[in-house]
A and B are shown apart, each in its own frame.
Chain A
Amino acid sequence: MAVTFTCPASKLVFERSCFLHKNSRHVTNVLEHHFNYGVDILIPDCDSIPLHLTSLMVNSRFFLTERLPLAILIDKEFVEAFVKKGKLYMLSYGTAIDRDNCVAIVPPGILILNLTKDTYQELGLVGKPTVFQKKLPTKYVVEINLTEEYFTPGKNYYERVKWCLTDRLGLVFDFLVAWLPHEDQISQSSVPAYLCNKGFRSRAFKVSEEITFKKDVKYPVIDSNDFDGHGEGGNSDNDCPITSSTKYDEQKKGGTKSDGQLKSGDFLCSYTEFWEWLGAFTCGLDCDGSPDDFLSTFSCPDPVSISPSCCQCKYRGFILPGTINCLIESLRDYMKSSTSPWACVTVHGFTDSPVSWRRNEHGHHKGGENLYTFVLFPSEDYWLYMAVGTHDICPP
């Protein structure tokens, strides 16, 4: 008998739904994923990407504030001016979630301290041990709601927190800062301006962009209804009578007839195969392997279609969930008028973010994955993949 070793578990959630459905949760799924490091867009059969899509991403800014002590963040002035008057996103920069203390602020004003055991024990604030190591926790999570009414100077709890965070343990971090004010007139850069007044230097950054067009790309054929790849398109339609818009179906049928590639009963690409292919393509791998190849047996899942021009955009930075939501809305509009069979938006969360979705704790076991992918179809259906690291709590 072969010896087998346990390997880390993986967590992948797949959802199929429709943007038009009243219970569709795509907006909350996007907005609740707070800390986004990168966005990858992939649109096949597209030779020019609309400007309003790209400008949306490129125009978003964020700041890096250096050596900011935590006591500043609970300052009443700061809380009143920024935390309560908009959506404030802050994430400690250059800290590893599995080694260091990590700090984040997520809307609506929750300060999350993910602390090492040493710091936690010296700090003296009540928190919970990490959910990942039940037996011998090495990390502890303290959550402080900054907007709570009782969290105000003069009250015991506030003074306690203030005393704990001030001076003693040298809790000083570099922070990525982005702020979305409730009122449009206020500038986003008021946060760094305020911090600058207090004597902390900030630098502004723009989201980096990289757009490439690839010629003659082989891509797998997928059907929004037929996600498990049984090729029973008709049956699944019967199962789901609500299916709206048949534009793509018609296209597919038209294509089927002319190409003669697809016969009814053929297996289409399933959602897992597509996920792997999408990953491979995004990483820039060549998918030309054959099952008997010496180097690689990986190939583009059958049946394939060839796209004359494929558009791939990469954005890296500290990207707000709101921006991504707008991007998806504009892509939905774009899909209505384009000939592309689908479009993908992949959003990578920060490996070292203390939270994944909502306030679910995020950790790092062998890898700190927290990412999601939307596959948009012209019929307003969508597929959503959500992947998290081994021990993480399943996405909502």
Chain B
Amino acid sequence: MYRRIVSKGKAEYFYLHVTLEFEDFEDVPVDAIKFKTIIVDALQGLFGLAGASIPADILKFHQPKRSAVLRVPSSGFVKLWSSLTLLGTCMGRRCAFRVHQVTPHLMALSANSREWQL
């Protein structure tokens, strides 16, 4: 009847909550497809074709804010994050990815007590 399973160590996936920002808070329209292309290009720019093959899924995309929830297998987690960090320009404009939250549990993204304002 009673079962307890403890899983430690590598999780299958990692989830990142990211926003794409442009210099001077410029409002550049980016749609989900373009967003994905930017991410794949960033991976390819740093890790070449092997990097571009890392399956980064866009689980949710909020177009007005250009924010997204990404899913990536844990083996590619550091690679994806560092590619996003080192991305300096896209579409001819200076930009930066801001990573708000990273977690191996998707559930944890639904509440962020650090952003809680009373």
Contact = CB atoms under 8 A, between A and B. Distances in A.
Q: Do chains A and B touch in the complex (CB under 8 A)?
A: yes
Interface of A: 2-18, 21, 23-24, 37-38, 40, 64, 93, 96, 203, 205, 227, 240, 242-243, 271-272, 275-276, 278-280, 282-286, 289, 294-298, 316, 346, 348, 350-352, 366-367, 369, 371, 373, 385, 387, 394
Interface of B: 1-15, 32-33, 36, 47, 50, 55, 57-61, 69, 71, 74-75, 77-79, 101-114, 116, 118
A11 B105 CA distance: 9
Contact of B71 (A17, A298, A316): A298
B78 A6 contact: yes
Contacts of B60: 283-286
Contacts of A387: 105, 107-108
Nearest to A383: B3
B108 A243 contact: no
Contact of B114 (A6, A38, A298, A352): A352
Contacts of A366: 102-103
A7 B106 contact: no
A209 to B, nearest CB: 14
The 8 closest A-B pairs by CB, nearest first: A279-B106, A10-B104, A5-B78, A279-B107, A10-B11, A348-B111, A37-B113, A38-B111
Nearest to B108: A369
A225 to B, nearest CB: 9
Contacts of A5: 77-79
Nearest to B14: A7
Contacts of A8: 104
B76 to A, nearest CB: 9
Contacts of B5: 13-15, 271
Contacts of B33: 294-295
The SS class assigned to the B binding surface is mixed
A296 B58 contact: yes
A37 B7 CA distance: 24
22 contacts: A7-B10, A8-B104, A9-B9, A10-B104, A12-B11, A16-B2, A17-B1, A64-B118, A227-B3, A242-B1, A279-B15, A279-B109, A283-B69, A285-B59, A285-B60, A289-B59, A295-B33, A298-B59, A348-B108, A350-B113, A367-B108, A387-B107
B58, B104, B107, most chain A CB atoms within 10 A: B107
Given A296-B57, A367-B108, A2 B50 contact: yes
A40 B8 CA distance: 25
Contacts of B58: 295-296
B69 A10 contact: no
B85 to A, nearest CB: 13
A294 B59 contact: no
Contacts of B2: 15-18, 21, 23-24
A295 B57 contact: yes
A132 B71 CA distance: 27
A296 B14 CA distance: 14
Contact of A371 (B10, B107, B116): B107
B90 to A, nearest CB: 17
Contact of A12 (B7, B69, B77, B101): B7
A13 B9 CA distance: 12
Contacts of A14: 3-7
A7 B77 contact: yes
A44 to B, nearest CB: 17
A196 to B, nearest CB: 18
A295 B105 CA distance: 20
Contacts of B7: 10-14, 272
Given A12-B6, A295-B57, 12 more contacts: A9-B9, A11-B8, A12-B104, A14-B3, A16-B2, A37-B111, A38-B110, A205-B118, A243-B1, A275-B106, A348-B108, A348-B111
Given A13-B6, A16-B2, A352-B114, A371 B105 contact: yes
